Every structure is written in C-alpha cells, then in structure tokens.
Amino acid sequence: MSLRINATAPDFEAETTQGKIKFHDWIGDGWAILFSHPKDFTPVCTTELGYMAGLKPEFDRRNTKIIGLSVDPVDNHAKWAKDIEETQGHAVTYPMIGDPELKVAKAYDMLPETEGDSSEGRTAADNATVRSVFVIGPDKKIKAMLTYPMSTGRNFDEVLRLLESCQLTAKHQVATPVNWKQGEDVIIVPAVSDEVAKERFPGGWKAPKPYLRIVPQPK
C-alpha cells in the first residue's frame, strides 16, 4: 500500500555511515527529513548531497535531523562522501543509510515490489524512482512527500521552505499561501472558527473573502 500524508512513517532498522539506527528512535522528539537518491557516484546525486550538507545547519536550527538513503552499501557511501566534499565544498556530516536489500526503499514505496530483493547489478536507471523526500514530524507522521525523476536535481531550498510551512501549521494552525517565504503573511486554516481565531490572533486579520483570513506570521 502506498504511503500518504499523515500516515505513520514506517519504522526500520538499518546500517548507516554513522552506525546502526532504529529510525523512530533516531528521530527522537524532533522533526526529520529522509531523502533518497538513485545511486552513489552519479553526477546529479553528487550535487544534491553536497548542497544538503551545506544546508544542514539550517535544518539543525529548526530541530530537524536529515538522513540520506540509497540502495548502495554503506561502504560505498563512505568512499563517495570524499568525492562530494571535494567537488561540492561541503563534507557530508549527516548519516547515509545503506539499503542494498531494498527494504527501506520498498517500505517507503520508492520502488515497485517487482524490482527484486537486492541492489546487486542495478544501475541508476533501475533506481529511477528513488529520488524522494519525506518530511516527518515528532509524532512520526509523514507531513509531506516529494518525488523527482532521476534526471532532475531537487531544490533543497524548497524542502527547507516546505519544512518551515509544516512546522508553522503544526504549531499555530495556519497555512502558507503560494510562494510564501519565511516572515511573510499566512492564512488561518478553515478548521479554526472566527471565535477561536479572535483569541489566537487578537490583532485581527484581513479577509478579502470570509474563507481567506490573512494574518502576520506568528512567532
């Protein structure tokens, strides 16, 4: 069964470049970003993991752990990390999961069930669906999902923006409008009545339509 937003993120045990983890325990009481890539030692993935390494302090400030995954073994990750640092200018200091038996990839519906049970002999093209992002909350629920084709590098600035939006919703019951950026106005979600909104937003709101209640971003 495919995963959906608000489903519980599958728990798993796996080897990583920083030792064995149990995923839910590793997340702890904060947020997490699980992101996967098709194959080590490939060009687009090299740029992605390097950029994510540079962004790690931003995720740290948002109480969010990041973890990478591919169906390559952990030893390959460790060797590839040297190339990433050399070419992208950032050392990969977050853990990278080795998933050669495809267990995590299948649990997160990154690969068809018919794709076998081992990464042996697989090429990047075989792993075309494995360029996914999962935003996971402290409650271990999936808050957002993104999947890109093998040929398109992801915009991890957008992943950071997406995380910020999800965290605002979780804390304040507000939604973010199109192209929203940190610090801009937000929208009171329809589930919050006007009576409750008056308590939460005593400064009032702009409402060009009754269902469109706009307020400054809460702190």
Please say if 166 is a catalytic residue.
no
In this structure, are residues 141 and 159 in contact, taking their beta carbons and an 8 Å threshold?
no
Q: Is 210 exposed, middle or buried (0-12, 13-18, 19+ CB in 10 A)?
A: exposed
The structure tokens 């009032």 sit at 204
Given 34, 45, 71, 166, the catalytic residue:
45
Which residues are marked as active site?
45
